[in-house]
Amino acid sequence: MNLSFKLNSGHSIPLIGFGTYQIRGNHLIYETLDYALKAGYRHIDTAVVYRNEEHIGNALKTLLPKHNLKREDIFITSKLISQRDKGEQFVEELVQKSLANLQTEYIDLYLIHWPGVSGLQVSHPENVQYRKNAWNVLCKLHREGKCRSIGVSNYMVKHIRELLADCNGVRPAVNQVEWHPHFFQPELLELCRSEGIFLQAYSSLGTSISTDLRDDPVVAEVATRLNRSPAQILLRWAIQRNVGILPKARSQAHIDENIALDFEIPPQDMELIDDLRNTSGAKYSWDPDTVV
């Protein structure tokens, strides 16, 4: 399987990325990115709210030459959340700050992190206008080459359709959502694929405070049969559905494990894992479906 996907912007995004949520501090970021680059990761996923963009920028300044890499050899994603009573200028300032913190002239992919607005009720109709304002700014920065691709995160079917109806001439390249065998939305995947939007998963392994997904008996059974870890089965399941993944890890052993996905899950086992959605339906992260 090709381990990259050609975005509608013409750029390629690796199917396997390195998530940095809850990983911050110059020393820890340096250590984990050192492991990740050595293991072969070339996509780094961050966000303004992760509060680690500056640490990533500092680390890459040293790590890229250490691993004989150039800026163009890696793919960086960041994201922003709109704030109440903050207009388009504020959104542009956030992106410019991301560029400065990451010490780069461009960001490969910039996403609207959440369809709602920080400080605004999910049912408030102004969410629609804030989404539009943020997208307009990202379109401008995309045309200037500062954001090579732009997209969204946590957008449900209704949000995607709204954006496509008025996207200022730039269609979203990516939609990053919670996606794993316990919770996935076939209708959302079908819409994204029909519109040329790459679906990217977060929470592929559940969360750090819940092992329910990794401990699922069906996942464990398939893992034993294929002599792989449950984490590898969960990640490979997404890859075989051509969904991007962003596993995060801090130890070198887990970082190495999460990228060692050069095996195939047989079709009958893929179907068993697919069926977990019908028996579990467990969601481990925030619910954007309630956002107007």
pLDDT tens, residue by residue, 165-187 = 999 999 999 999 999 999 999 99
CATH of 4-207+241-248, picked from 3.40.50.880, 3.40.50.300, 1.10.287.810, 3.20.20.100, is 3.20.20.100
Residue 1 has pLDDT above 80, yes or no: no
* Alpha carbon 278 to its chain's center: 24
User: Would you say residue 208 has pLDDT above 80?
Assistant: no
Strand order in the sheet with 198-202: 18-19, 43-45, 75-80, 107-112, 147-153, 174-178, 198-202, 244-245
DSSP state of 108: E
| Average pLDDT over the chain, rounded to an integer | 96
Check residue 280 and give its pLDDT: 81
Strands (E), 35-173: 43-45, 75-80, 107-112, 147-153
Please tell me which residue, 278 or 26, carries the higher pLDDT value: 26
CA distance 242 to 225: 23
Per DSSP, 146 falls in state S
pLDDT the model gives residue 120: 87
pLDDT higher than threshold 70 for residue 2: no
**Residues facing residue 110 across a β-bridge:** 78, 150
- Annotated catalytic residue: which of 41, 50, 130, 284? 50
Over residues 88-142, the pLDDT tens digits come to 999 999 999 999 999 999 999 999 999 999 888 999 999 999 999 999 999 999 9
Q: Is the pLDDT score of 274 beyond 90?
A: yes
Is 50 annotated in the active site?
yes
Q: Is the pLDDT of residue 286 over 90?
A: no
Domain boundaries, the chain: 4-207+241-248
